[in-house]
Structure 1
Amino acid sequence: VLANIDFVNTNLDETLKLVNQAGGEGTVIAADLSEDEGAEKTIALAEEAFGGLDILITSAGVGYSWAETHPGTMDDIAATSPEAWHDIMALNLDSTFYMVRRAIPEMRKRGGGAIVNVASISGMLGLPVAHTYSAAKGATINLTRSMCVAYAKDNIRTNCVAPGWIATPMVAPLLDIFDNPETADSITPARRPGTPEEMAHACLFLASEEASYCNGTVLVVDGGQSARQ
């Protein structure tokens, strides 16, 4: 079963249709996860729909495309206003805090669970721009490790996926850099962006019993990009 969350229902209904066609069950929840009230609503509705919470994947966030409508949010730190800093932190880090804070007590009631936080290789590398984004993703990675240490005794596993270039609307304006083979090879040995399906497989693995001995893991899904750096 799947609870899919976004600001609005625009793409969620289509996702739910695909889940149902594949033989699964799901529900959609429109919530602002940059606020604690949104996380509280989400956990409550998911539990109401499915009777409990076993797996949480925290993938809420924004990237480079956000700067098209929110100028200054993907700049270097000297060019970043306090408002832009808090904007990105709320969406990319606070949302994870609010969700895991609400999820852990519910997982304890059920004797355990699995949490997968979505970060980025930007949280592992130095960047010339997007400093707030990089800081948020780095914090997500270390939060994952700390949660692993703290909640293993509750049979709650916490892992993290750190993607590189993934072909989503978030980075769609920049994907034409892969059109040139030489440029593509300089970005990642895979010479292409990853697909949403490849990201989903990574998250599914870490959430599954096949990863029962993975805890505090940062699974890099970047086609080899970070291996060069």
Structure 2
Amino acid sequence: MNLTAEALFNVNGIVAIVTGGGTGIGLMIAKALAANGARRVYIVGRRKEVLEAAANATFPESIVPLPGDVTSLESLCEMAERVKTEVGYVNLLVANAGVMGPRPLKASPGQSPPTLSEFCAHALATPMDVFTDTYSVNTTAVYYSALAFLELLDAGNTVGNMGADWKSQVIATSSIGGFSRLKGASFAYNSSKAATTHLMKMMATSLVPYKIRCNVLAPGIFPTDLTGSFMNNIGPSHTGTFDPSLIPAERAGSEPDIAGATLFLASKAGAYCNGSVIVVDGGRLGTLTSTY
């Protein structure tokens, strides 16, 4: 039995879909898969030019733009049909697209908390559909993305180089926010990520008869569009370091951090994982009041 890292952690020959793959963590994941042997990695997003720029700047021979809207069932089915026509199967779907959603009013450092009236007025100024839209992208789209590609994932169980013990898989990018009770965080974002984590656990159970696995990545703070303002507030931008009381690793996550976790789940190394949650946060969740 070959126990080398090269044998355990490669993803040779797989076909993958990464939603929200044009920027941030999604692009990090796509690059990790392409760099380690994936045959084709489709990156999904609404902005075609962003997808094309990402592919051209990284692995244009294996990363393929797939423009579409994960909140539209019609668009998801169209994307699945294109992949079916071009390749005929999928081994891995990474449901990664996400939005932050509205934030509550909170006090600045050293100031008293807002009055109840101020807190309510700020929250009620956000229309209900804006709150619900956070769930549409972060949770509902994960479910329907999986549904749209299930038959291609089923086909992927009979095609590929990963071996009989490796089964097709859906990985959802959730967040440590789904476990955190941090004051001032987005109620919409955190609760939608908690819902996504539980959704994937339910799907892992429901898809057992079809031999399709479901797992979760729960990242902490990585340099993305979603976390930019947060990083600027608590991490000195000139050094990139964080107080260990905020992040014990004293830094934000990086490409190798998310790449390693992704390759573990996506490769033979993680073939025995189903319904698992991998937290990649430098220890931050342990510093928070949380439900993990």
- TM-score norm. by structure 2 comes to 0.69
Percent of pairs with identical residues: 24
Tell me whether 1:47 sits opposite 2:84 in the alignment. Answer: yes
Give the equivalent residue in structure 2 for 1:82. Answer: 128
Q: Is the contact between residue 127 and residue 134 of structure 1 (CA under 8 Å) also seen in structure 2? A: no
Shift of 1:5: 0.7
Cα distance between partner residues in 2 of 1:183 and 1:192:
5
Give the equivalent residue in structure 2 for 1:17. Answer: 56
Once the two structures are superposed, residues 48-103 of structure 1 have per-residue CA deviations (whole angstroms, 9 ceiling, x without a partner) of 2322111100001112xxx6xxxxx2237951531111221111112101101112
| Bigger relative contact order, structure 1 or 2 (CA pairs below 8 A, ≥6 apart) | 2
SS in 2 for 1:186: coil
Cα distance between partner residues in 1 of 2:50 and 2:176:
26
Shift of 1:178: 1.4
Give the equivalent residue in structure 1 for 2:46. Answer: 7
Superposition RMSD on alpha carbons, in Å? 2.2
Cα distance between partner residues in 2 of 1:9 and 1:197:
26
Cα distance between partner residues in 1 of 2:177 and 2:149:
26
Give the equivalent residue in structure 2 for 1:70. Answer: none
* Structure showing the higher helix proportion among its residues: 1
Match among 5, 28, 42 for residue 65 of structure 2: 28
How many residue pairs align between the two structures? Answer: 219
Runs of 4+ residues over 6 Å off in structure 1 = none
Cα distance between partner residues in 1 of 2:129 and 2:223:
28
More displaced 10-residue stretch of structure 1: 160-169 or 3-12: 3-12
SS in 2 for 1:126: coil
Change (3 A) 1:99 1:157: same
Cα distance between partner residues in 2 of 1:26 and 1:182:
32
Structure showing greater Rg: 2
Give the equivalent residue in structure 2 for 1:159. Answer: 215
Cα distance between partner residues in 1 of 2:47 and 2:203:
30
Match among 187, 206, 211 for residue 265 of structure 2: 206
Paired AA for residue 192 in structure 1: R
Paired AA for residue 49 in structure 2: T
